[in-house]
Amino acid sequence: MTTPIAVVVLAAGAGTRMKSTLPKVLHPLAGWPMVRHVLDNVGRLRPGRIVGVIAPGADAVAAAFAPHPAVVQKRPLGTGDAAKAALGALKGHRGPVLVVFGDAPLVTAESMRRLVAACRRSRAAVGVLGFKARDPSPYGRLIVHGGVLEKIVESKDANAVEKAVDFCNSGVMCIDGALIGGLLRAIRNNNAKREFYLTDAVALARAAGHRTIAVEGDEEEFQGINSRAELAVGERALQRRLRAAAMAAGVTMTDPDTVWLAADTRLSPDVSIGPCVRFGPGVSVASGVQIKAFCDIEGARIGRGALIGPFARIRPGSDVGEEVHIGNFVELKATRMARGAKANHLAYLGDSAIGQRSNIGAGTIAVNYDGYGKHRTVIGADAFVGSNSSLVAPVRVGRGANVTAGSVITEDVPDGAMAFGRARQVTKKGRATALRAKLKERAAAAKQAKKK
C-alpha cells in the first residue's frame, strides 16, 4: 500500500502589504478565507496529516486550521525555518511531505497530485512545481540541467545567467519524509536576506547524491497573494475557474463575467443565470431554476423550477421551494416559501413561513423586529395577502385566509377568514372641486407676494 502523504501549510507571513489587521491568509476569495481554499485543495489528496505553521498569537489562523494542528514559528527567519517548525508534528511520518503556502489558494489538487506522483515514480528526494513566467524577475529560478533540478536561486541572489532563466519556482515542494529533517536542519542563512530558504533543500539533496526534479504547471495557478491588488487578481482568476466548471456542468450564464460565485455554490444542470448575479456562501440551486438579472443570494436553498428576480435579494436561512416565484425588489431573510408560493413585487419577508400556493401582494412587509427581538410570521397554504399589508409578528394567517389590501394585521387570522386592518374610508362628495379652487387661489397669492 502507498504511504499517505503529509502536508505542511506555511501561514506565518506577516502580510504587511495587505495593510490590514486581518491576517493575510484569512482574507476572502469567493467567500472563503484563502487558507480554506488551500486546505480544501490539499484535502483532495487524502493526506495522512495536515500541519499549519503560524505566527505567534495568530489564534484566528490556528482556528482556521482546525481540526488540524497548527505549530508556531517563533521568529520570522524564512521559509526553511518555518518548515522546520513543523518537524515535531511530522514525527514518525515516512512518506512524501508536501509543503505549500497559505497565501497561494489557486494551486489545484491536480497539480499537487502530479508532483507527488512524479516524486514517487522517480524516487526523488525533493520535487518542485515550476512554471514558465511571463515576467520572471520576482521569482526564484529553477536551474535544470539534463532533466535534473540542480538548485533554486532566489531572485536577489541570482547572477546574470540565472536571471535569464524563465522557469520559476512556485513554492510548492514535495520532500521525502525520511530525509526532510536532515535537509531542513542543514539549511543555512548565508544569502542576501539572511534568511533560511526552504529552496536550499534542493542543492543540499543534490550534494548528498539524491535525485531532485521539477514538474511544470500553469503560471496562473501559482499567483501568491501579498497585496489587495493581488487579491483582486486572484478573485478574478478563481471566478473564471468557478464559472467554467458551472457551465461545463450544464448551467447557462447569459453574461458569465458578471456572475460571481462562492467557492461552495452548488448549481444543478439547467439552471439559468442572468447578468449581474452574486452568490454568497452556502447556496444550492436545483435544476430548472431561472435567476434573472441583479439578484443577490446567500445562505439559501432554491428549489426546482423556481423563478427568481430580477432585483431580488435572498438572505441567509431562506428556503425557496419548488415552483416559487420571487419577483423584483423582494427580500427574504430566514424565510421558507413552500411549493408554488409567490411574492412577485416589492415585499420584505423576514423570519417567515409561507404556505403552498399562497400569494403575497406588492408592498407587503413581515414586521419581524420590535427593536429588541425577532418574531415569526406564519402564513398557511392558499392564503392571499393583499398589497401594502403589514403583518406585525408574531402573527399567523390561516389556510385559505384573505388579508385585504392596506391592512395592518396584529392578531391571528383563522383559516378561511377575511381580515381588515385599516381605517374606514371617508368620502366627501363634491368637495374636490372646491378644494382645488382653494389651493389654486392660495398658490397665486403666494406667487404675488413673492413678486413684491
Beta strands in 36-164 (DSSP E): 49-54, 70-72, 96-101, 126-132, 141-145, 148-153
To the query of whether residue 210 is one of the catalytic residues in this protein, the response is no
| Length of the chain as a residue count | 452
> Mean pLDDT over residues 108-130, rounded?
97
Report how far apart, in Å, the C-alpha atoms of 126 and of each of 84, 86, 160 are.
15, 17, 26
Give the long-range contacts of residues 337-346, CB within 8 A, separation 24 or more.
Answer: 338/381, 339/303
Prior bond of 33 cis (ω within 30°)? no
Which residue has better confidence, 426 or 173? 173
Residue 85 is classified by DSSP as H
Residue 7 pLDDT: 98
- pLDDT at residue 423 greater than cutoff 80: yes
Beta strands in 4-63 (DSSP E): 6-11, 28-29, 32-33, 49-54
- The residue behind cell 498569537 is 57
Residue 359 pLDDT: 98
What span, in angstroms and rounded, lies between the C-alpha atoms of 94 and 4? 9
Beta strands in 197-263 (DSSP E): 212-216, 252-253, 259-260
Q: pLDDT tens digit string along 359-368?
A: 999 999 999 9
Report how far apart, in Å, the C-alpha atoms of 10 and of each of 7, 54, 231, 390 are.
10, 7, 18, 54
Please report, to the nearest 10 degrees, the dihedral formed by the alpha carbons of residues 275, 279, 283, 289 taken in order: -10
- pLDDT at residue 449 greater than cutoff 90: no
Residue 147 pLDDT: 87
Q: pLDDT tens digit string along 224-281?
A: 899 999 999 999 999 999 999 999 999 999 999 999 999 999 999 999 999 999 999 9
Q: pLDDT tens digit string along 272-313?
A: 999 999 999 999 999 999 999 999 999 999 999 999 999 999
What span, in angstroms and rounded, lies between the C-alpha atoms of 105 and 238? 9
- The residue behind cell 533554486 is 152
Residue 42 is classified by DSSP as H
CA nearest to 320, candidates 287, 359, 354 = 354
Residue 346 pLDDT: 97
Q: Mark out the alpha helices in 154-227 (DSSP H runs).
A: 160-163, 180-186, 200-207
Residue 64 in contact with residue 26, Cβ under 8 Å? yes
- pLDDT at residue 86 greater than cutoff 80: yes
Q: pLDDT tens digit string along 51-67?
A: 999 999 999 999 999 99
Describe the strand order of the beta sheet including 290-291 as a list of residue ranges.
252-253, 272-273, 290-291, 307-308, 325-328, 342-345, 359-360, 384-385, 402-403, 418-419
Q: pLDDT tens digit string along 30-52?
A: 999 999 999 999 999 999 999 99
- pLDDT at residue 1 greater than cutoff 70: no
State the chain's mean pLDDT as an integer: 95
Residue 156 pLDDT: 86
Q: pLDDT tens digit string along 165-204?
A: 999 999 999 999 999 999 999 999 988 788 999 999 999 9
State whether residue 128 is helix, strand or coil.
strand
CA nearest to 176, candidates 93, 68, 261 = 93
**Residue 130's pLDDT band (cuts 50, 70, 90):** very high
What span, in angstroms and rounded, lies between the C-alpha atoms of 359 and 411? 19
State whether residue 430 is helix, strand or coil.
coil
Task: Read off the C-alpha cell for 87.
Answer: 518537524
Domains of the chain: 6-222 (3.90.550.10), 244-419 (2.160.10.10)
CA angle 80, 77, 16 (to 5 degrees): 115
What span, in angstroms and rounded, lies between the C-alpha atoms of 231 and 246? 22
Residues pairing with 382 in the sheet: none
- pLDDT at residue 128 greater than cutoff 80: yes
Residue 322 pLDDT: 98
Residue 260 is classified by DSSP as E
Residue 55 pLDDT: 96
Query: Among residues 27, 93, 345, 375, which one is catalytic?
Result: 345
What span, in angstroms and rounded, lies between the C-alpha atoms of 322 and 325? 9
Q: Identity (one letter) of the amino acid at 11?
A: A
Beta strands in 312-376 (DSSP E): 313-314, 318-320, 325-328, 331-333, 336-337, 342-345, 348-350, 352-354, 359-360, 365-367
The distance of Cα 223 from the centroid of its chain, to the nearest Å, equals 18
Q: Residue 434 phi/psi, 5° resolution?
A: -65, -40
Q: pLDDT tens digit string along 344-389?
A: 999 999 999 999 999 999 999 999 999 999 999 999 999 999 999 9
Residue 398 in contact with residue 411, Cβ under 8 Å? no
Task: Read off the C-alpha cell for 354.
Answer: 409561507
